[in-house]
Chains A and B, each alone.
Chain A
């Protein structure tokens, strides 16, 4: 596979969220505001790129029996690095995100890519795969948060777009809306994007 193919497969064809149904918890949790979704997405892309690269780099030396332990350690370390960097240089963003950054560690997509790709492939390819998976994930988050923020708050990235008479849909702010928007999105993609495969 060329590098471009790796990216396309991991970001769209085998998208972690809509194809593999991974990373659902955070998809449901942070999508009520577009800004939160974007920053969460960037955090995941960064952590994925670096952790898949590192895991692939040491794959030859990693004993099979402890590989998952090693992967978790590496992922955890990079996520904490993101957290420390945000706290020191972007304290306002860090405050906004609260505990979400730390929760990247438990995002199944990171373990998924580490096990499925980085453990068997070259470092650079793994990094591209990681970035692809992160971009795919961010894309889903942004689509869901676009709908939720627009209908739930009448704003996009905090900027008011709905007119004065707009009544916020409280349900869009709460968790249930994320469930059904995600479900509708997966249904639509399965029906239209994967049409030929059927």
Chain B
């Protein structure tokens, strides 16, 4: 009776072999798919990043060259390669960009980190060559609450920072948050309703990073 053969399907080893084979098949398929699409995904990521940078620089390029802003944007990637060069500033954690026309810098784009309500966020900011004025802002990475804090990505909110002098007499100016519906005066920013923390986080991000970059790069060089 001890000689009775147990069918393979009922042995202890069968479930183990079954799971190993199943795992190899599925993980293999996933790995293949991941590999096949990796390049496409990376290219897309890089391109969308470059498009944001170009979009931020476009108004300044348009003013300096007399070209049409929309034409510059639609001429991606040629226009990107033509105007935008990687630059470096002291105290930055990701490379910045600069646009030079006739050997003088007309606009810089810095990539700055910040802390939102739930997670880190990042923004690309077009600034004047002396880093004292925001030309245009794009928050390109954030994990705020959808429908509330995430609305900091909406154009109307970010447009409030357009052409805003943020550093005066070496100090970051005070920006006051007011409610969304209120009429905005100088030095005031309409916050997103129900997202005071996220709105404030954007201002803190700009303040901390731009103040630091300004101090490390411009102050010493100023007469």
Contacts and interface: CB of A to CB of B under 8 A. Distances in A.
Contacts of A84: 30, 33-34, 37
Contacts of A170: 148, 193-194
B15 interface: yes
B51 to A, nearest CB: 12
B138 to A, nearest CB: 14
A contact face: mostly helix, strand, loop, or mixed: helix
Contact of A63 (B15, B40, B146, B148): B15
Contacts of B37: 84-85, 87-88
A84 B146 CA distance: 23
Contacts of A173: 147-148, 194
B185 interface: no
Interface of A: 32-33, 36, 58, 61-63, 65-66, 69-70, 73-74, 77, 80-81, 84-85, 87-88, 91, 98, 152-153, 170, 173-174
A69 B26 CA distance: 13
B41 A88 contact: yes
Nearest to A76: B26
B22 interface: yes
B148 A74 contact: no
Given A62-B18, A63-B15, A88-B41, A174 B33 contact: no
A63 B14 contact: yes
B19 A69 contact: yes
A32 B33 contact: no
Given A88-B41, A152-B147, A170-B193, A77 B26 contact: yes
A88 B193 CA distance: 35
8 smallest CB-CB distances across A and B, nearest first, come from: A88-B37, A173-B147, A77-B26, A63-B15, A66-B15, A88-B40, A91-B44, A32-B147
Contacts of A98: 143
B64 interface: no
Q: Is the interface of B mostly helix, strand, loop or mixed?
A: helix
Contacts of A62: 18
Contacts of A70: 18-19, 22
A77 B18 contact: no
A73 B23 contact: yes
A98 B23 CA distance: 26
B9 interface: yes
B29 interface: yes
Interface string B23-56: 1001101100110010011001000100000000
Contacts of A174: 147-148, 194
A95 B21 CA distance: 34
A85 B14 CA distance: 34
Nearest to B25: A77
B19 to A, nearest CB: 5
A165 to B, nearest CB: 13
A74 B33 contact: no
Given A81-B33, A88-B40, A66 B147 contact: no
A77 B146 contact: no
Contact of B15 (A36, A65, A77): A65
A87 B36 CA distance: 12
A91 to B, nearest CB: 5
Nearest to B23: A73
A66 B146 contact: no
Contacts of B148: 170, 173-174
Nearest to B17: A63
Contact of B9 (A36, A63, A73, A81): A63
Given A61-B18, A66-B19, A70-B18, A33 B147 contact: yes
A153 B147 contact: yes
Given A62-B18, A84-B37, A170-B148, 14 more contacts: A32-B147, A63-B14, A65-B15, A66-B18, A66-B19, A70-B19, A73-B22, A74-B26, A84-B34, A88-B41, A88-B44, A173-B194, A174-B147, A174-B148
